[in-house]
């Protein structure tokens, strides 16, 4: 096993309250990074509770773990999220863009435009908003790492989920473009493209 030491680093994981995001939070905390767990606040409070549970588990590693609600599809909320990180952590070293949705299953001609748009807003614009804020801090600091969680469906078609596949293909190209833009300043931008993972969001399949 490769030993990874992230002591003193500050990370943000969007969609970090469950599934892949929660697992990433645990891994970062195990490696010694302070972690901010982003989640989407709703009326039920379930995501907030789940985020706190992940934070409690992460802080057991002796790191600082905070929870920060924000809708990543909203540029204003993302800006506020990063200002919170500036106040709490003094900046950011690692961004993991994990928040994402697949939307209702529907063939293109039967889909609702607002559902299609919502998927693109969360998956693509959410990644863009967070990358924009992170790189505005990382490039002047001449260091930082961004990891975008894409999907095998950035390359593999998935009937009924055209918005999802298109958004993930776009995230792949966004990643490559930002990698070029950040390279001179020593900011690394990469993506991982997992297949289906046994998490609550995939229970029905």
Place of tokens 């967070």: 130
Cα dist. 134→107, 116, 141, 177 in Å? 35, 26, 11, 15
Instruction: Report residue 54 as tokens.
Output: 């992940």
Contact 54, 37 (CB under 8 A): yes
DSSP notation for 55-109? HHHHHTTTS-EEEEE--TT-HHHHHHHHHHHHHHHSS-SEEEE----------GG
Query: Would you state the structure tokens that stand for residue 93, as one six-digit string?
Result: 């070293």
Closest to 75 (Cα-Cα) out of 20, 150, 17, 136: 136
Active site residues: 164
């Amino acid at each position: 096993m490769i030993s990874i030491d992230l002591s003193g680093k500050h990370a943000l994981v969007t969609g970090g309250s469950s599934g892949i995001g929660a697992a990433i939070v645990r891994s970062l905390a195990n490696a010694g990074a302070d972690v901010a767990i982003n989640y989407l606040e709703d009326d039920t409070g379930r995501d907030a509770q789940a985020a706190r549970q992940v934070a409690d588990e992460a802080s057991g590693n002796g790191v600082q773990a905070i929870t920060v609600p924000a809708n990543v599809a909203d540029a204003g909320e993302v800006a506020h999220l990063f200002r919170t990180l500036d106040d709490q952590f003094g900046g950011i070293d690692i961004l993991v863009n994990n928040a994402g949705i697949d939307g209702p299953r529907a063939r293109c001609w039967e889909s609702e435009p607002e559902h299609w748009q919502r998927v693109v807003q969360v998956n693509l614009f959410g990644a863009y908003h967070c990358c924009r804020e992170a790189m505005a801090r990382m490039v002047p600091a001449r260091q930082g790492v961004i990891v975008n969680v894409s999907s095998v469906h950035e390359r593999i078609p998935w009937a009924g989920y055209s918005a999802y596949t298109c958004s993930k293909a776009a995230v792949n190209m966004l990643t490559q473009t930002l990698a070029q833009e950040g390279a001179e300043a020593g900011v690394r931008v990469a993506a991982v493209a997992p297949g289906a993972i046994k998490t609550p969001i995939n229970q029905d399949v």
